[in-house]
Structure 1
Amino acid sequence: MRRTILLAVATILSTLAASSASAQQACPPSVGYETNWKYDYYRNKIWPEPFRAMDTQSVLSYFDTQRDKGWRLNNTLGASMFNPQTQQLTESGKAHVRWITTRAPRDRRVVFVLQGDSQAHTAKRIESTQLAVSEYVPVGALPQIYLTDEDAPGSSGAYQTAVHRAINTSVPSPRLPAAPVTSSSGL
């Protein structure tokens, strides 16, 4: 008898606890106009707080995308980093691969290779890049190599040298203007 009473009391208490827990839902209970009015009032009173985290995340996601695209362009081996005849890495391409594999942050050590004009050119570029990467990272996991169709902005060093020299030769040599002649009256 005593066990039956204890079991009945425990069942009633657990039912009451479950009903009070379900009353703490985020949705307003459909009790009546006054309850819905209070719910709307308090929700409007704290209005910006529930949505502030979502707004912040939506703004910051654009910066994350820009950062990722910037690293992708920075780690891209473009057309100027490959020899046009052999599709092998040039010295500047090897230096860029060395920087990516040794100096870039660990989570950004990914190499992007610009696709060649044909499948054979692309295969030679990938092979040349893999050899350079394995040269600079002899032990451990190698950085991933991906193909891309977007060339990194920039130009070859030979072109930049020619432009710089042309600018330097076209600059006139500096001269001071002639001093004006003043007449003194002696007073």
Structure 2
Amino acid sequence: MANTFPTKRTLLFAAILAAMASGGIGSQTASADWGSLVHQMHVGYHRNVAWPDPFNEVDAVQTVMPFEAMKRNGWRMHNTIGHELFRGGDGALLAAGQNRVRWIATQAPEGRREIYVLRGVTQEETQSRIKAVQEAVDGYVLAGQPQPQVLVTTIEPATSPGVVATKINRERLEQMAAPKLPTTSAAGTTGVTQ
């Protein structure tokens, strides 16, 4: 009982000898598998030593991707010409629609100059909306500049009536605390107000 170490060593040595003897039977496949095993161990070692460097760039791209999608969707909503910017029936642009198209065609970042036209009730109305926007773009874009694409969308931008927006803004201004000067300065001397 006191001398169990040599027994374990003997069993381990016997297992290694048995593995080597059985490897001699199919030496062609065993050597190929052995080389593959050594190669995989070598690759695994170097991956572990280099960690996390090989994965930083992939992680950074995956972290940024949702934000890029949000930016794209935000610009799409911003550049959508909705129902309220067209005259009912014939699809002509109203003055506010003309201003929005002009801003997109001339002021938006060049990579974001896509104009989305909200689909009309009928196909004819949609086509007249596209034609009105395209004519407006032709008048605003200078020669030699790339023309913004005019695309059709069914995603309506979130809007609210001006009355509601004005009410919210006024309530915010009414609840804002009045400005007040401090009674003492940072140095501890008495301030302007007492």
TM-score, normalized by length of structure 2? 0.61
Distance 2:36 2:131 in 1: 72
CA separation of 1:64/1:84 partners in 2, compared to 1, >3 Å: closer, same or farther?
same
Q: CA RMSD in A?
A: 3.0
Distance 1:166 1:35 in 2: 67
Q: Is 1:154 matched up with 2:159? A: yes
Deviation, structure 1 residue 118: 0.5
Distance 2:36 2:142 in 1: 72
Distance 2:121 2:131 in 1: 15
- Which residue does 2:71 correspond to in 1? 67
- Which residue does 2:92 correspond to in 1? 88
**For the Cα contact (< 8 Å) 2:93–2:133, is it kept in 1?**
yes
CA separation of 1:33/1:85 partners in 2, compared to 1, >3 Å: closer, same or farther?
closer
Match of 1:122 among 123, 126, 129: 126
TM-score, normalized by length of structure 1? 0.64
Distance 1:121 1:133 in 2: 18
The higher relative CO (CA closer than 8 Å, separation ≥ 6) is in 1
Number of residues paired by the alignment?
A: 140
Gaps of 5+ in 1: 1-28, 173-187
Gaps of 5+ in 2: 1-32, 175-194
Deviation, structure 1 residue 134: 1.1
AA in 2 matched with 1:120:
E
Deviation, structure 1 residue 166: 10
- What is the correspondence of 1:90-109 to structure 2 with a 5 Å cutoff? 90-109=94-113
CA separation of 1:153/1:38 partners in 2, compared to 1, >3 Å: closer, same or farther?
same
Residues 26-57 of structure 1, C-alpha deviation per residue, up to 9 Å, x if partnerless? xxx95376665454333223222211211111
Match of 1:55 among 52, 55, 59: 59
AA in 2 matched with 1:87:
G
% same residue: 32
Distance 2:120 2:36 in 1: 70
